[in-house]
Every structure is written in structure tokens, then in C-alpha cells.
Amino acid sequence: MTLPEAMLETTRRGFDVSGPQLLVGGISALLALICVLVHYEVMSWSSHLLPRLGLARRARIVAVILAMLTAHVIEVWIYGLTYWLLEGWPSLGRIEGSFDEGALDFIYFSVTSYTTLGLGDMIPTGAIRILCGSEVLVGFTLITWSASLAFLEMQRDWYEFRRLR
């Protein structure tokens, strides 16, 4: 056995997955699916229904942005309330840090995770880290999706504006 092989052998850890990790992984997958469906429905509604309402161009863009923000708030609350519920099962992990506002602290943590801000004043430990990592990925993806839809709506607005001139 050569020296690098011996080093790998002593530093490599097993890839064991515990019951709490599997449970939190399943919860993460379920929340990702729920949030994608919520986002899809809000985006679909806003891109199909709003143009038919006969709103002025600017009002339609503002309505789309407000619809997207509403979707993001709902998704943040879904994750935040899940953290709050999981706090009752310490074997699944905890979020450590200063808690002053009760359940709203979990919403705050969710906002910093969802937006990838990650201030570091609250730190997940244990299996719940899987949920936090999943929320970051979901949040980043859905924020990007919103930006894409906003761009498409503004492109449509610019096209209509040029056509009317």
C-alpha cells in the first residue's frame, strides 16, 4: 500500500445514512415539490390571466411582480413553518442561535436560506441541514424563474409600447 492510499484509508468516512437523515431528505423533497407547484401556479396565473384583465401595461408588470413576491413569501413561510414544526423533534436536528421572536425566528432563518443570504446568526445542526441546503437550491431556482418571467413580461411590454408608438 502506498502512502496516498494509506492516507485515503484513514481519512475517508463511511457513507452511512441515518433514519433522521432519510426522513428529513424526504421532507425536503416534498417541500421542493410543493414550492415548485405553488410557484408554477402563481406564475401560470399571472402570465395567462393578467393580460386578459385589460390592465394598463405598467399595472400588469407591477401585478406580475407582486404575484411573484407573494409566491416567494408563501414558499418562505412553508419552509419556516416546517423548521418550527421540526423543532419539536430534536433527533432531526436543531437551528442554533439567538431566538427572540418565537416562530418568526424560523421564518427569518427561512428568508436568509431561501435567498441564499445566509447571515450565519442561526446555524442548522444535525439532519435538518439537509432541509436547509434543499431550501437554498429551491429558493435560488425559483427566484431565477421569477426573474425570467419578469423579463419576458417586460419584453412583451416593450414590444407593445413600440407597436403603439
Domains along the chain with CATH numbers: 19-164 (1.10.287.70)
Q: At what angle do helices 128-164 and 19-49 cross, to 10 degrees?
A: 10
Average pLDDT by stretches of 10, the chain with 165 residues:
60 80 97 98 86 79 92 98 94 91 92 92 94 97 93 78 69
- Nearest CA to 106 out of 136, 80, 78, 135 is that of 80
pLDDT of residue 8: 59
**Residue 100 main-chain phi, psi, to 5 deg:** -115, -25
What is the reported pLDDT for 106? 95
Q: What share of the chain is helix, strand, coil (3-state, %, to 5)?
A: 75, 5, 20
Q: Do 122 and 97 form a contact (C-beta atoms < 8 A)?
A: yes
pTM: 0.84
At 161 the pLDDT is: 64
State residue 98's pLDDT score: 84
d(CA 106, CA 104): 5
Q: Do 122 and 83 touch, CB atoms closer than 8 A? A: no
pLDDT for the residue 150: 87
